[in-house]
A = this chain, B = another copy of it.
């Protein structure tokens, strides 16, 4: 059978991995897909690199716009990244009736609604398994494997860099800045780590999963995002003493009034499987009303794990490209005319449990003042302990875990507690999820 002809835009890490895996496993992939899948043209600004990776076995060009218009190409793989030229190329490819496979979470988180609408108009597939959690087939699980369910929530470790840093901080008791340097040295973090450590990358991914889970539009711009750069090693230690691990989770929940969509460091019971996902690994926990909790674990980044997801999409597109759209899995899991606009709740309205750490003067009555304020805000305490900080003197750390409460109540309580003369320094607030 005639091979599917693929145009690859960008032959960096993932592009090179995709090229290598498609070549190495060509026979096995064709036995599954029913026909060969071949990269017939590669576009990259760095033609030298493209020549090295492909060994000159396919056409090379530095003009990606020529590739997306090329009548000899059936599918475009977009691995350029970013919002700029990648957006233009994807829209041009769609305009020319090409199917698109992309790993670009930033692009879809920001312009997904526009891109999916354009694709629908032209009746082409836009596949993006590689955009979330690398090689883990989580988009497929959400869009196809769990279709029976009303999805209740998703909580995912979906950024390997930050999970690596948090694992090292916990295991070695080191501060964030030091571990970040090590991660950069080892290649787990980029020279400018902002996208990863500030939670933006995780925000892109959870925004896409949230839309798919709830049949909602993509709402990255309304997500609450807090990274790990301000996380202190002492809180990891205290959390551990209370039986919790701290993970940077992307969380989305369906609530009666709307959808919670947030990324932040989160205390998770240490006995949960997801709390034991270490190093640069990813894992996504999905709660459905019928199936209960299911978890998906694997490598969330890297050349070949991401290539695995890109190629799975190529096989899907190869099977489905000649069908009508009614036979295809809808972009956001729900039929386009059944996607609705559920509101994303402001962070002040989310409901979760909290970890609070306060540095206080070691005086009688301090605790009474604090607990009175919490009670006024209808916040009830689940656990509490007090520790002398390392520097000693007449100060103590009070650590509290609250029961579930609305974030605005905690905001108000923290503001009031902060005015107490016996409370010294900043009040640390982290969120806690039991993930039951």
A137 at interface, CB cutoff 8 A = yes
B contact residues around A311 at 8 Å (CB) = 147-148, 290
Q: Does A305 interact with chain B (Cβ within 8 Å)? A: yes
Q: Which of B136, B215, B315 contacts A147 (CB 8 A)?
A: B315
A330 near B147 with CB under 8 A, answer no
CA distance A25 to B254 in the complex (A): 15
Give the residues from 1 to 38 in chain A that come closer than 8 angstroms, CB to CB, to chain B: 17, 21-22, 24-25, 28-29, 31-34
Instruction: Please tell me if the beta carbons of A135 and B312 are within 8 angstroms of each other in the complex.
Output: no
Residues of B within 8 A of A140 (CB): 137, 140-141, 144-145
Partner of A273, one of B33, B146, B273: B273
A307 at the interface (CB under 8 A from B): yes
Cβ of A150 under 8 Å from chain B: yes
**Are the CB atoms of B315 and A319 closer together than 8 Å?**
no
Q: Would you call A273 and B297 a contact (CB within 8 A)?
A: yes
Among B135, B144, B319, B327, point to the contact of A291 (Cβ < 8 A): B135
Cα–Cα distance between A57 and B25 once the two chains are bound (Å): 51
Instruction: Give the contact stretch, choosing among A48-56, A226-234, A333-341.
Output: A333-341
In the complex, chain B residues whose CB is within 8 Å of the CB of A304: 289-292
Say whether B308 contacts A319, CB under 8 Å: no
Q: Which B-chain residue is minimally distant from A337 (CB atoms)?
A: B31
The answer to the question of A323 belonging to the interface, with a C-beta cut-off of 8 Å to chain B, is yes
Partner of A148, one of B150, B308, B329, B338: B308
Given A290-B305, A294-B298, 20 further pairs, Cβ under 8 A: A21-B148, A21-B290, A25-B150, A25-B290, A129-B145, A135-B291, A136-B294, A137-B145, A141-B145, A144-B144, A144-B312, A144-B316, A148-B308, A290-B311, A292-B304, A295-B298, A296-B296, A319-B327, A319-B329, A327-B327
* 7 pairs of A and B residues whose beta carbons are closest in the complex: A137-B145, A148-B311, A294-B298, A135-B291, A31-B338, A291-B308, A295-B297
